[in-house]
Amino acid sequence: MDKIEYAANLIIKLNLFQNEKLSDYEFIKEVCSYFDTVKNDSLSTADKQFLFYIANQVGIPQYYDTLSKFNHDIQFGEVSLQTLADSYKESRLYTSKNVELHKYQKDILNKFEIGKQNRFFLSASTSFGKTFLVYEVIRKMQYKNILLIFPSIALLSENLEKIMSDEKYRWIHEKYKIHTMSMITENGENNICIYTPERYLSFLDVSEKIPFDFVFVDEVYKMDNEYIVDDETKENERDVAYRLALHYALQSVLDVFLAGPYIEFSQETSNQYNPSFDRFLQANDISLLNYNEYEIVNKEFKKLPQNNKIERFKTQIKEFTEQSENVIVYCSRRSDTERYANYLVDETSFTNVDTSQFTDFLEHLSNMFNSSNNWIVVKALKKGVGIHHGLIPKYIQKEIIELFNKGYIKILLSTTTITEGVNTTAKNVLILSSKKGSDKYLKKFDALNIEGRAGRFLQHYKGIVYSLDKKFEKIKNGEGEPIKHKNYDKSSPKDEIDLFFTDNEYLDQKNLERKHTIEQLQTQHDIPEDIINQFKVISKEDKIRIYEHIGNLSPIEMSSIKGLIQHYQISRQITYDGVETIINIVLPFVKNPKLRELMTRPQRGKDTKVLTALLYSYFKNGLKGMINYQIQNGKNIQESVRNATDFVYNTLKYQVVKYFGAFNLMYKYYLSKQENKTFDQITGIDAILLKMEYNANTENGRLASDYGVPQKILEYYDSNNDVNKKNAFDSYENRIFEKVERIINNI
C-alpha cells in the first residue's frame, strides 16, 4: 500500500470516528500507525498539514511534534485556515508555556474542579502519562499540602530529581517545601511529601500531621498481593503497607488520585466477578477511569522461531545493534540476565562498542571491589550491555538505566524490576520467558506491563515486542484476573493487621473472635492506642507479645540493651550481646524463613548468630565491605555481590528493621512506664534503625542514600563534610556528588 492509499484509508477511518462508529482508542491506533508509516518519508507542505490535521483530530498533536525526532522540519512554509484552526485547537491542550497534554489527559484534568471533592482511580496504559498528569492536577488545583506515594525509593528519587532539576517543574520547588524523610522538623507554608507507603506510615508515627489537600498513589494495584510483580517466591507484605497507607490517606484527604497500569476490572456478568474492589471505590466515593485501551504508542507483536533459543537470541541482538536500535530483554530470573549477558560478552561482534561516554563509571566499578573486573555487570558494560535486577547495588542500577535512556548502551537485560519503578526509553522488547522466577507463570497483567515497555511516547510511534517464548502471547491475550481488595471481601483470608482496618461486616465469626481476643489482651496490658497503632506493619498481637517478653528480661539482658544504645552513641558500632538479646525477643514472631535462619544459625566457630556478625560488618564497612569480605572468604564476585545485596536490600532494610522497630516501640513504652517518663524521653535504638535502613547517620546522608550514591559519598556526609574524604572521590563519585548536592541544598 503506497502513501496515497494509506492516507485514503485513514480518511475513511476518520469519517467513521467522527460519526462515532469507530472508538477514539481505535482511531488512536490508526493515526499512530500512519505516522509510523510515513515518519521516514520525504514530506511536502501538504503532507505536513495533513499530518498536523489528523494529529489534532485524534487529540494527540504531539504525534506531529515527534516527527522532528526523525529529522523533519515541522515548521510550515505557509499556514492555511485549517492549520490555523488546528493550532487553536492544540493551544487548548497547553497548561503552561512549555507543558502540553494530549486530549485524554486533558479530559481527566477537566474532571478536577475547585470547590468540589475530586476522587478518581485511573487505570491506563504504560504510555498514557499518568504521573506527568499528576503535576498538572497540582498546578490547576493549587493545593497547599500534597502527599505523593510511589512504590519504590527509585521512583521517589526519580520524581524528586525531576522536581529539583527539570525546568518544567521549577514552579513546584519554588512554591512548595519538599519532604522525603518521614521525620519532618519544619513545615513550609505549602508542602509536598514524596513517600513510599512504608515511609508514609512511618511519617504518621513520628511527625506532626500535615492537613493534606491531595494524595496521589502510584501503582495502587499493589494493595492486591496477587498483582504484585516479583521475580522470586518470598514473603511479600507490600500489599499490607499499601492497604494501610490507602486507609489512612483516604480518611484524612479530600482529593484523591489513584493510578496503575492495565488493571483488570471484573464485570458482574463474569465468572470471576468479585465485588470487593467496587465496594472499596463506592465506600470512598472514588470514580473509576478506565483508559486501559488507550495505547498512545502502538505495539507490534512478533513471534520468533522457538528452536535454538540462545542462537536466536544472539542473532536478534545483533540485528538491533546493526540498526542502532535499543532493546530491553526480559528474563525470568536474575541468574538468566547474567547468563545471557555472558553470551553477548563472548561474541566477537561486540568488540567495537564506544564506552567513552561512561569511562569514569567503568573505572569506578573496576576499582570498587576485589575482582571487580570479573563481575559480569562490569564485563557486560564494556560491551555496551546493561544488567538490571534487584541484587545489583541501587546506585549502579540507576546509572545503568540512565546510560540506557541516553543511548550510550543499547541492550538492557532485566527481570521484572524493569516494570516496577523504572522509566525507560526502549523501542524494542525481547521476551525470553513467560515466567517470573523459576516456577511462576506471568499473569496477563505482568505480560502487558512488560510489553508496555516497548515504545516511548514522544520518541516512538511503535514499540515492537519479540517473543522467544510460545506461551507469552497466550498469557497476554488471555483472560486477566480482576483486582480485589481483601478488606471489602468477607471470604478473603485476613492477616491479623487487616482485622483492625476491616469493617465488621467483612469479617467472619472466627475473625471477629480473633479481633476481640487481641483487644482484650491490649486492655489487659493497658497499652494505649497511640502506642499500639505505631509501627503499623507489625500486628498488634505480636507487639503485645514482644512487650511481654521485654517485661520478663533479666537485669543482665536489660543492661545489654542499654549498653548497645550507649555504645552506638559513642562509637557508631553495635555490641554483640545487645543485638543477640533483641534477636531472642523478636525471634518467635519472625515469619520470614531466611531471617529466621540468620537469627538461629551460629557463626562458624563462635557462639554469636550469623545475623549479629552481618550487622557488625555492615555497620563497620557498609555494603562494599560486605562484598569484599565474601570475596576474601572464597566466594566468586557474582555470588558475593548477590549475597551481600540480598541481605542488605531484602533482609536488613525491610525485615530486620521491621522486627527491631517493633521491639524498639515496645521497649521505649515499657521503660516509660517503669521510669515514669514520657515515651519521647526514653532513648531506644532509633539511631541504629536509621543506620540499618539508610546506611547513614545524618539527614544529608539519608537524603543521599535515597538518591542512590556510592559508599564514599555517604561516608563524607556522615563525617560532617570531611574535606579529606571528598578529596578521595574518583571522577564518577565527584559527578554524582555534584548532582546530589544540588538537590540536597535546594530541599
Is the same domain home to 466 and 503?
A: no
Residues 564 and 666 in one domain: yes
Query: Three-class SS of residue 185?
Result: coil
| pLDDT for res 229 | 52
The answer to whether residue 338 is domain-embedded is yes
389: CATH: 3.40.50.300
pLDDT of residue 228: 64
Higher pLDDT, 746 or 389: 389
Say yes or no: 173 and 135 in one domain: yes
Q: Are strands 214-217 and 255-261 parallel, antiparallel or unpaired?
A: parallel
Does some domain include residue 721?
Answer: no
Q: Number of structural domains, the chain?
A: 5
Q: Is 697 left (phi over 0), alpha (psi -120 to 50) or beta?
A: alpha
Among 92, 123, 144, residue at a domain's last position: 92
Per DSSP, the chain holds a count of helices (H) and strands (E) of 34, 17
Measure the CA–CA gap between 79 and 45, rounded to whole angstroms. Answer: 9
For residue 714, tell me if it sits in a domain. no
Residue 435 β-bridge partners? 441
Amino acid at 161: E
Mean confidence (pLDDT) of the chain: 92
Model pLDDT for residues 138-165, shown as the tens digit of each residue: 999 999 999 999 998 989 999 999 999 8
pLDDT band at 651; cut points 50, 70, 90: very high
Task: Specify the higher pLDDT residue, 80 or 334.
Answer: 334
Q: Is the pLDDT of residue 730 over 90?
A: yes
User: Helix 334-345 to helix 309-322 angle, to the nearest 10 degrees?
Assistant: 60
Q: Are residues 662 and 520 in the same domain?
A: no
The model's pLDDT over 593-626, given as tens digits with 9 standing for 90+, comes to 999 999 999 987 788 999 999 999 999 989 988 8
Identify the CA nearest to 543 among candidates 667, 434, 638, 656: 667
Residue 556 counted as domain residue: yes
**Structure pTM?**
0.94
Alpha-carbon distance values, 641 to 99, 235, 387, 418, 610 (Å): 42, 22, 13, 20, 18
Residue ranges making up the domain that contains 517: 490-524
Q: Does residue 665 lie within any of the structural domains?
A: yes
Residues 303 and 286 in one domain: no
pLDDT digits (tens, 9 = 90+) for 689-715: 999 999 999 999 999 999 999 999 999
Q: Do 310 and 400 belong together in one domain?
A: yes
pLDDT at 603: 86
Domain match, 376 and 473 both? yes
493-511 pLDDT, tens digit each: 888 999 999 999 999 999 9
pLDDT score, position 724 = 95
Whether 417 is covered by a domain: the verdict is yes
Any domain includes 539: no
Confidence check: pLDDT of 233 > 70:
no
Cell match 514552579: residue? Answer: 171
In this predicted model, what pLDDT tens digit does every residue of 314-358 receive, in sequence order? 999 999 999 999 999 999 999 999 999 999 998 877 777 899 999
Longest CA–CA separation in the chain, Å: 89
Inter-residue contact 67 to 35 (CB < 8 Å) = yes
pLDDT for residue 307: 86
